Amino acid sequence: MSLRAPADVLPHRPPFLFIDVVSEVVDGTSGRGTWRLTGDEWFFAGHFPGRPTLPGVLMCEAIAQLGAYVVLSDPKTEGKLPLFGGLDSARFRRQVAPGDTLTLEVTLGRLSSRAGKGSGRALVRDAVACECDLMFVLVEA
Protein backbone atom coordinates (compact mmCIF):
# COMPACT_ATOMS: atom_id res chain seq x y z
CA MET A 1 0.00 0.00 0.00
CA SER A 2 1.28 3.45 -0.90
CA LEU A 3 1.08 5.96 1.94
CA ARG A 4 0.01 9.54 1.37
CA ALA A 5 2.46 12.40 1.80
CA PRO A 6 2.41 13.98 5.28
CA ALA A 7 1.03 17.28 3.91
CA ASP A 8 -1.90 15.35 2.41
CA VAL A 9 -2.92 14.02 5.85
CA LEU A 10 -1.74 16.59 8.41
CA PRO A 11 -2.87 20.21 8.70
CA HIS A 12 0.74 21.29 9.40
CA ARG A 13 2.66 23.26 6.78
CA PRO A 14 6.27 24.41 6.47
CA PRO A 15 8.08 25.62 8.37
CA PHE A 16 6.20 23.60 11.02
CA LEU A 17 5.81 20.29 9.18
CA PHE A 18 8.52 18.04 10.60
CA ILE A 19 7.95 14.77 8.73
CA ASP A 20 9.33 14.24 5.23
CA VAL A 21 8.14 10.68 4.64
CA VAL A 22 5.84 8.24 6.41
CA SER A 23 7.09 4.76 5.56
CA GLU A 24 4.75 2.61 7.65
CA VAL A 25 1.36 2.74 9.34
CA VAL A 26 0.01 -0.38 11.06
CA ASP A 27 -3.76 -0.55 11.59
CA GLY A 28 -4.03 2.88 13.18
CA THR A 29 -1.83 1.70 16.07
CA SER A 30 1.73 2.56 15.03
CA GLY A 31 3.80 4.34 12.46
CA ARG A 32 7.29 5.05 11.24
CA GLY A 33 8.66 8.02 9.32
CA THR A 34 11.67 10.24 8.74
CA TRP A 35 12.71 13.86 9.04
CA ARG A 36 15.89 14.85 7.20
CA LEU A 37 17.60 17.89 8.70
CA THR A 38 19.40 19.86 6.02
CA GLY A 39 20.80 22.63 8.19
CA ASP A 40 18.70 25.25 6.40
CA GLU A 41 15.90 24.97 8.99
CA TRP A 42 14.99 28.28 10.66
CA PHE A 43 15.84 27.21 14.22
CA PHE A 44 19.46 26.19 13.62
CA ALA A 45 20.62 29.80 13.15
CA GLY A 46 19.85 30.68 16.76
CA HIS A 47 19.99 27.29 18.51
CA PHE A 48 23.01 27.49 18.87
CA PRO A 49 25.36 29.70 16.84
CA GLY A 50 28.55 27.73 16.29
CA ARG A 51 26.94 24.46 17.39
CA PRO A 52 23.56 24.06 15.69
CA THR A 53 21.35 21.67 17.65
CA LEU A 54 17.78 20.52 17.02
CA PRO A 55 15.65 21.71 19.97
CA GLY A 56 14.35 18.74 21.94
CA VAL A 57 10.79 20.03 21.97
CA LEU A 58 10.80 19.91 18.17
CA MET A 59 11.72 16.24 18.30
CA CYS A 60 8.69 15.72 20.54
CA GLU A 61 6.58 17.70 18.06
CA ALA A 62 7.82 15.52 15.18
CA ILE A 63 6.86 12.39 17.13
CA ALA A 64 3.44 13.92 17.83
CA GLN A 65 2.99 14.78 14.15
CA LEU A 66 3.66 11.16 13.24
CA GLY A 67 1.12 10.12 15.87
CA ALA A 68 -1.39 12.54 14.34
CA TYR A 69 -0.71 11.02 10.91
CA VAL A 70 -1.48 7.55 12.28
CA VAL A 71 -4.67 8.78 13.98
CA LEU A 72 -5.87 10.66 10.90
CA SER A 73 -5.17 7.68 8.64
CA ASP A 74 -8.05 5.86 10.34
CA PRO A 75 -11.40 6.53 8.59
CA LYS A 76 -13.09 6.68 12.03
CA THR A 77 -11.34 9.99 12.73
CA GLU A 78 -12.43 11.76 9.55
CA GLY A 79 -13.18 15.40 10.28
CA LYS A 80 -11.15 15.37 13.52
CA LEU A 81 -7.99 17.17 14.57
CA PRO A 82 -5.66 15.70 17.21
CA LEU A 83 -4.25 18.36 19.55
CA PHE A 84 -1.55 17.97 22.20
CA GLY A 85 -3.11 17.24 25.58
CA GLY A 86 0.13 16.49 27.39
CA LEU A 87 3.69 15.31 27.19
CA ASP A 88 5.24 13.02 29.81
CA SER A 89 8.54 11.28 30.41
CA ALA A 90 10.40 13.21 27.71
CA ARG A 91 14.06 12.29 27.62
CA PHE A 92 16.73 13.64 25.30
CA ARG A 93 19.60 11.21 24.81
CA ARG A 94 21.83 12.76 22.15
CA GLN A 95 22.43 15.92 20.16
CA VAL A 96 20.83 16.11 16.72
CA ALA A 97 22.66 18.30 14.20
CA PRO A 98 22.31 19.48 10.61
CA GLY A 99 22.72 16.59 8.19
CA ASP A 100 21.19 14.04 10.57
CA THR A 101 18.12 12.04 9.62
CA LEU A 102 15.65 11.33 12.40
CA THR A 103 13.83 8.03 12.23
CA LEU A 104 10.53 8.57 14.01
CA GLU A 105 8.48 5.81 15.61
CA VAL A 106 5.16 6.03 17.41
CA THR A 107 2.85 3.51 19.02
CA LEU A 108 -0.65 4.48 20.04
CA GLY A 109 -2.27 3.07 23.16
CA ARG A 110 -5.73 3.97 24.37
CA LEU A 111 -7.85 5.79 21.80
CA SER A 112 -11.44 6.90 22.31
CA SER A 113 -13.63 9.18 20.23
CA ARG A 114 -12.35 12.14 22.29
CA ALA A 115 -8.75 11.44 23.31
CA GLY A 116 -5.81 9.09 23.18
CA LYS A 117 -2.34 8.23 24.39
CA GLY A 118 0.81 7.05 22.73
CA SER A 119 4.55 6.86 23.00
CA GLY A 120 7.32 7.46 20.56
CA ARG A 121 10.95 7.96 19.93
CA ALA A 122 13.33 9.60 17.51
CA LEU A 123 16.53 7.86 16.47
CA VAL A 124 19.66 8.89 14.61
CA ARG A 125 21.61 5.99 13.10
CA ASP A 126 19.80 3.55 15.44
CA ALA A 127 20.73 5.58 18.56
CA VAL A 128 17.81 7.01 20.55
CA ALA A 129 17.85 10.80 20.49
CA CYS A 130 14.48 11.39 22.16
CA GLU A 131 11.64 9.40 23.70
CA CYS A 132 8.36 10.60 25.16
CA ASP A 133 4.78 9.72 26.04
CA LEU A 134 2.00 11.72 24.37
CA MET A 135 -1.57 12.55 25.27
CA PHE A 136 -3.91 14.15 22.78
CA VAL A 137 -7.50 15.25 22.43
CA LEU A 138 -9.61 14.98 19.29
CA VAL A 139 -11.58 18.05 18.28
CA GLU A 140 -13.67 18.89 15.24
CA ALA A 141 -11.43 20.09 12.40
Average pLDDT for consecutive 10-residue bins of the chain (141 residues)? 91 97 95 98 96 98 98 93 96 98 97 95 98 97 92
Residue spans of the domains in the chain: they are 38-140
The pTM for the full model equals 0.97
79: amino acid identity, one letter = G
Catalytic pick from 47, 94, 119, 137?
47
List the helix and strand counts (H, then E) for the chain.
2, 6
Question: Domain 38-140 in CATH: superfamily?
Answer: Hotdog Thioesterase (3.10.129.10)
CA distances to 39, 41, 43, 98, 114 from 50, rounded to whole Å, are 12, 15, 13, 12, 44
Cis before 48? omega within 30: yes
Please indicate whether residue 47 is annotated as part of the active site: yes
Report how far residue 86's alpha carbon sits from residue 136's, in angstroms, rounded to the nearest whole number: 7
